[in-house]
């Protein structure tokens, strides 16, 4: 397996897992996606999170999060308002319908992914460490190459 072949195999593996886990087949019968559920949980736990904070928590782009929030609002699962203090910023809170959906979906996901939840601690640590190593390697190389005016 040469270098390029490795890169293919590894990227394919990440892609596969990403889709299996993140999208969750759109949490089938509940008509909500994985990331929508995580956003719903975050908003339930901490109302008044801004969109940017949400995006950072989920490690996604602002524009992506804007769309996700938009769909949650359209589905009546959260309410989106401008902050009084800073009218650029959003505040969000979950609706009763959203709270219901959150509970159901969380239950569903916990059952569906119980194997994941029950993984050994050391395996999880190992997995996350390997992932971080890869990220470090990629980012080091990327930065060294293109971006020399750091700060």
Give the integer Cα–Cα distance in Å for 64 and 109: 23
Binder of residue 99, out of DNA, a second copy, none (CB less than 5 to 8 A by kind): none
Determine the Cα–Cα distance for residues 43 and 91; give it in Å rounded to an integer.
Answer: 9
Binding site for DNA (CB under 7 A): 15, 19, 22-23, 25-26, 33, 35-36, 50-53, 58-64, 66-71, 80, 86-90
As measured in angstroms, the least distance from the Cβ of 88 to DNA is: 3
- Least separation in angstroms between residue 89's CB and a second copy is 24
What's the rounded Cα separation, in Å, for the pair 44 and 5?
Answer: 44
Closest contact distance (angstroms) between CB of 27 and DNA is: 10
> Are 39 and 69 within 8 A, CB to CB?
yes
Q: What would the DSSP string read from start to end of 48-80?
A: T--HHHHHHHTT--HHHHHHHHHHHHHTTSEEE
Using CB under 8 A as the criterion, which residues of the chain lie in contact with a second copy when the complex forms?
Answer: 2-4, 6-18, 20-22, 28, 34, 38, 41, 58-60, 106, 109-119, 123-124, 126-128, 130-131, 133-135, 137-142, 145-146
For residues 9 and 23, which CB has a smaller minimum distance to DNA in the complex?
23
């Amino acid at each position: 397996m040469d270098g390029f072949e490795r890169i293919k195999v590894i990227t394919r593996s990440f892609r596969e897992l990403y889709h299996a886990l993140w999208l969750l087949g759109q949490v089938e019968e509940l008509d909500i996606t994985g990331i929508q559920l995580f956003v719903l949980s975050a908003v339930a736990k901490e109302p008044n999170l801004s969109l940017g904070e949400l995006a950072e928590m989920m490690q996604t782009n602002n524009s992506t999060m804007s769309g996700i929030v938009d769909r949650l609002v359209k589905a009546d699962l959260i309410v989106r308002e401008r902050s009084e203090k800073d009218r650029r910023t959003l505040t969000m809170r979950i609706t009763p319908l959203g709270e219901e959906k959150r509970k159901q979906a969380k239950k569903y996901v916990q059952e569906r992914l119980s194997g994941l939840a029950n993984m050994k601690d050391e395996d999880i640590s190992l997995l996350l460490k390997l992932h971080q190593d890869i990220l470090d390697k990629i980012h080091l190389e990327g930065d060294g190459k293109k971006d020399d005016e750091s700060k």
